[in-house]
Structure 1
Amino acid sequence: MGGGAGGFVPPPPPLHPVPSPDAQPEQPDWNIPSLSEDEARNAFVEFASSNCCYSDAPAKDGVITNMQSFNTYRYRLETFTESRTTEWKTKPYTGQNVDAGPQPAPPPWAIHVQTPEMFKDREDNVKVPNTSSVKPCHICNATGKSPCESCKGSGKKKCTSCSGSGRRLEESCDTCSGTGNESCMACFGHGTEECKTCQGKKQLEMFINLKVEWKNNLEDYVAQQASGIKTDNLTSVTGKRLFHDEQYMVYPVFGFPDPNLSQASERMVREHQSNFAKTARIHKQKHTIELIPITKVNYKWKDNSHVFYVFGNESRVSADDYPATCCCCSIM
């Protein structure tokens, strides 16, 4: 530990071998059934009904004039990392054991911390062994008291009855006896309150804290598609899984029918493994390819043409130009 808390602690070299191209996607299966008109309308009605600012009339009574199916690939790479930082911390001393002495503190990455569920964000804080000691509270000079924040240590505040004038209705104020001040209710006129740092204990335990952060670093690539739906809409849905691989470090996808996806996989895997290994320990990676169904639906409502989209396994709906919203939605 070198006698102090050093902030960011670089990870040790990886112990696992370089990944090999064992798992690769097979020829995609495009057998995703087309959405029926009834299914599209039901999804549209549910969408409109769930929005308090929408009338469901266009969804129920609009005339569907055309439906067109689109599919797009989504490649997703997830890299689960662990990073460690150290810093000095204090807490009120209430008689707990302290362990600072001749025994040196262990290096941050030598401290055992239980790894949580993979690909889930989490943060743990661990007191580093052999670093805790007791010292007087530096905030209150070991008195256990600090100036009252409400009255700035005076014990008095402006009288609320006479606004500090000392008089009410041309007579001396009864509340403050004409002084214009009354006792501070926060500190009961003492001018001091319990020290927030030591909580009145006068002493602090000082130790080095190890903060361990596990993070799932997720990145998506969505292949170009001509449906017109905004790509951001697709982040919240799932598709038909075509490929999944999970290991310490994954190998980029190659030989996929869409060369742009293979190129994106190669770039993303390279960047993840290079960038994250500098600042964290990589525990595991996984990548998937999904085929996301998209149906573009043209419909007419009151002689005007509109469009909505039904997408993903969840049959989510996007309708940016929904034609019947209430006044409050228009204003917003």
Structure 2
Amino acid sequence: MFTPGGGAVYAPPGPNPTAPPVYGNVPGYEGFMAGGAGGYIPPPAPLHPVPTPDTQPEQIDWNIPAITEEAAQAAFLEFAGSNCCWSKAPAKDGVITNMEAFNTYRYRLETFTESRTTEWKTEAFTGQTVDVGLQPAPPPWAIQVQTPALFKDHEENIKVPNTASVKGCHVCQETGQTRCDVCTGSGQKQCNRCDGSGKRFQEACEDCSGTGKEHCTDCGGKGLQKCETCEGTRQILMFINLKVTWKNNLEDYVAQQSSGIQIGNLTSVTGKKLFHDTQYMVYPVLGFPDPNLAQASERMVREHQSKFSQSARIHQQQHTIELIPITKVAYKWKGGTHLFYVFGNESRVSADDYPATCCCVVM
């Protein structure tokens, strides 16, 4: 570039190119790699048989013994003692008049799946193996991948064999350099001392001599930086990337209960596992006394197997039923009737109407 007077001036490089590289055709991947974007690959047909009622574990007794009066009294006394300034008298001297058990069941279904997608990837070429065309590329689901721990999310990226080739870098146009992002190719950036104003305390800034600009240290004033795509090598390795995603698809159903306890209290406790079945595909729970939970199991199992078998390979399913025991206890103290609840394996207590919440004496 020249000025009208004939003197040459610096012309900063233009914006970095954004055109994508030209993708080649790999036999066996034509339908998955249209436009270089890649896509989802349907899984092969399952090899395992459809589950039947015979594959369920032996039925168990769903009835759980209720907590004893002594255990309820002990939990109540411990609860009262853990609250500062509460009198223990109601818990110690109160007379239990009624105990009612409310079994709350939590049903959980987990479906562990594997899905595979492909897409073109590029990385700087630094001497990696180039194997495109040496042999046919294996189909996506024929590539052996070690299955991780069951029922835990995991992801792996694998270079598909016999798809790697070398091409000139499209970002830097095979120069190894791109326009500096900090100074946009000018070689100068805003002065930090004066924030680009050129002045400090009404005088010319000493750092930039009043220009408001300073030497760009990121590119050494050249206006160019090493290409991040090819890392300055001017070439890139192109290959098909296989992304394998293992996912634990989890769904819960909590049976309704009418004990009166705040549901939020139940999140802090554990329950007793009554039922656990793990198979390639499970069968809905049979013989459970709560028909709503049995219906939820039938619906969830059907939906999981239908939904996930279409979009992924099902490796394993497991379902559990957990009991969170709740006992509603009525007691009398000083002529009044009150309630408390004992719940969870930990025998936690909730008593919103505890009648003696302050025993502190102000002197």
TM-score of the superposed pair, with normalisation by structure 1: 0.80
Matches for 1:241-260 after TM superposition, within 5 Å: 241-260=273-292
TM-aligned CA distance change 1:44 to 1:91, over 3 Å: farther
User: Matched residue of 1:150: which SS?
Assistant: coil
Matches for 1:16-165 after TM superposition, within 5 Å: 16-22=48-54, 23=56, 24-31=58-65, 33-34=67-68, 36-40=72-76, 42=78, 57=84, 69-165=101-197
Task: Say which is worse superposed, 100-109 or 168-177, in terms of deviation.
Answer: 168-177
Q: Deviations over 1:309-328 (max 9, x none)?
A: 6643245678999xx9xxxx
Q: 1:307, 1:131 → 2: CA distance? A: 71
User: Matched residue of 2:53: which SS?
Assistant: coil
TM-aligned CA distance change 1:229 to 1:138, over 3 Å: farther
Tell me which of 224, 227, 231 is aligned to 1:195.
227
Which consecutive residues of structure 1, in runs of 5 or more, have no partner in the other structure?
47-55, 300-304, 325-332
Identity score, percent: 63
Shift of 1:60: 8.0
User: Matched residue of 1:78: which SS?
Assistant: strand
Query: What does residue 2 of structure 1 align with?
Result: 29
TM-aligned CA distance change 1:251 to 1:232, over 3 Å: farther
Counterpart residue type for residue 62 of structure 2: P
TM-score of the superposed pair, with normalisation by structure 2: 0.74
Task: Say which is worse superposed, 275-284 or 218-227, in terms of deviation.
Answer: 218-227
Contact 2:81–2:88 (8 Å) recurs in 1:
no
User: Matched residue of 1:57: which SS?
Assistant: coil
Q: 2:167, 2:81 → 1: CA distance? A: 66
Matches for 1:302-317 after TM superposition, within 5 Å: 311-314=343-346
Which consecutive residues of structure 2, in runs of 5 or more, have no partner in the other structure?
1-27, 332-336, 358-363
Counterpart residue type for residue 39 of structure 1: A
Query: What does residue 278 of structure 1 align with?
Result: 310
Q: 2:303, 2:295 → 1: CA distance? A: 12
Query: What does residue 11 of structure 1 align with?
Result: 43
TM-aligned CA distance change 1:213 to 1:179, over 3 Å: same
Contact 2:67–2:327 (8 Å) recurs in 1:
no
Q: Deviations over 1:236-264 (max 9, x none)?
A: 75322222211111111122211112111
Query: What does residue 326 of structure 2 align with?
Result: 294
Query: What does residue 50 of structure 1 align with?
Result: none
Q: 1:13, 1:133 → 2: CA distance? A: 32
Counterpart residue type for residue 74 of structure 1: R
User: Matched residue of 1:80: which SS?
Assistant: strand
Contact 1:29–1:242 (8 Å) recurs in 2:
no
User: Matched residue of 1:89: which SS?
Assistant: strand
Shift of 1:61: 6.9
Counterpart residue type for residue 57 of structure 1: C
Greater Rg by CA:
2
Contact 2:168–2:174 (8 Å) recurs in 1:
yes
Shift of 1:276: 0.7
Tell me which of 272, 276, 282 is aligned to 1:240.
272
Q: Deviations over 1:149-208 (max 9, x none)?
A: 111111112223333343444544321123221112322322222222222222211111
Task: Say which is worse superposed, 196-205 or 274-283, in terms of deviation.
Answer: 196-205
Counterpart residue type for residue 67 of structure 2: P
Q: 2:29, 2:349 → 1: CA distance? A: 57
Task: Say which is worse superposed, 177-186 or 33-42, in terms of deviation.
Answer: 33-42
Q: 2:103, 2:76 → 1: CA distance? A: 16
